[in-house]
Amino acid sequence: MKTVAAVGFGGDVLLEVVVARTLERLAHLKYEESVQRRFARSCRRLMRFARERGGEKVGVAALGERYLQACRRRGDNEYRRPSGQRIMRHAIRVLTEVALHGSFELRGKFAPRAALPTALGSTLTDYRQFSDEHLLHRRSTVIARERGIRRFFLYVASRGIESVAGIDSGIFSAFVASRTPMQPTSLEHELSSLRSLMRFLLMRGLVSQGLVDHVRAFRVQCTQPLPAVWRREDVVALLAGVDRSSPVGKRDYAILLLAAQLGLRGGDIRQLRLEHILWDQSRIEFQQSKTGGALALPMSEELGVALIDYLRNGRPPSARREVFLRAHAPFLPLTNGSSVSHVMSKYRQLAGVRLAPLPSRRGLHSLRHSLASRLIEAGTPLGVIAAILGHRCQESTQSYIRIDVEALRDVALGLEEVGHDCA
Query: Residues with catalytic annotation?
Result: 265, 290, 365, 368, 391, 400
Tell me the β-bridge partners of 284.
277, 297
Return the number of other C-beta atoms located less than 10 Å from residue 38's C-beta.
16
- The Cα–Cα gap between 180 and 157 comes to 20
- The Cα–Cα gap between 243 and 250 comes to 8
- The Cα–Cα gap between 227 and 372 comes to 12
The 3-state secondary structure of the chain, one letter per residue:
CCCCEEECCCCEEEHHHHHHHHHHHHHHCCCCHHHHHHHHHHHHHHHHHHHHCCCCCCCHHHHHHHHHHHHHHHCCHHHHCHHHHHHHHHHHHHHHHHHHHCCCCCCCCCCCCCCCCHHHHHHHHHHHHHHHHHHCCCHHHHHHHHHHHHHHHHHHHHCCCCCHHHCCHHHHHHHHHHCCCCCHHHHHHHHHHHHHHHHHHHHCCCCCHHHHHHCCCCCCCCCCCCECCCCHHHHHHHHHCCCCCCHHHHHHHHHHHHHHHHCCCHHHHHHCEHHHEEHHHCEEEEECCCCCCEEEEECCHHHHHHHHHHHHHCCCCCCCCECCECCCCCCCECCCHHHHHHHHHHHHHHHCCCCCCCCCECCCHHHHHHHHHHHHHCCCCHHHHHHHHCCCCHHHHHHHHHHCHHHHHHCCCCHHHCCCCCC
Say which residues have a Cβ less than 8 Å from residue 334's Cβ, sequence separation at least 6. 270, 322, 324, 325, 326, 340
Number of alpha carbons in the 13 Å side-chain half-sphere of residue 389: 28
Contact (CB, 8 A) for 263 and 252: no
**Cα angle at 14 between 11 and 16, to 5 degrees?**
145
